[in-house]
Structure 1
Amino acid sequence: MGNKNKLNKQVKQSNNEAYNSFKVVLFYCLLIIFLPIVSFFGTKYILESNFDINHIQTNIYSAISAVIGLHIALGLYIAKAYFSEPGDFKQD
């Protein structure tokens, strides 16, 4: 019985680690997808509604903000992957 309980505990711990890793990766995937989209359309809306800028310049500034947002999201993901320890996602 002791071996069975020990095995069940190891399986549960392994499942928790995998689930926690999945949550982190899912968060960064969503951030990488949606941050540039939100920054593009947000910047476009702000520039068109508050400033007297033509359509082409508005698109250029919006694209630049989307690229900056993407680089920020990728940088955060790379920093998390590089500086995290292998057991950071464990929950006891």
Structure 2
Amino acid sequence: MNATDLHTHILQRYQNLLHERLVSRRASEDYLYWVRRFLNERHTPDAMPDTGEVARFLRTLKTDRLSSSAERRAEVALELLQVELMDPSEVA
């Protein structure tokens, strides 16, 4: 599976998950933004993400001088990605 197909697959599954959980439209847009940004900034875009990549991405956000609410949204969005869509054996 190439990077574009993998990203599309992950984003579709993530969007379905948000819909199933009845997450508000605005929160869904924010969460999808952070997941898209994470996927686009990965060094190995054609492989399924792992927890190490998520942790590195969240550390780089600390240097971006985000508001605390934006940083928290990113954390929640990626935590949901990890817990629900990534390999369960990878999640600590």
Under a length normalisation based on structure 2, what TM-score does the superposition of the two structures give? 0.39
Structure whose CA Rg is larger: 1
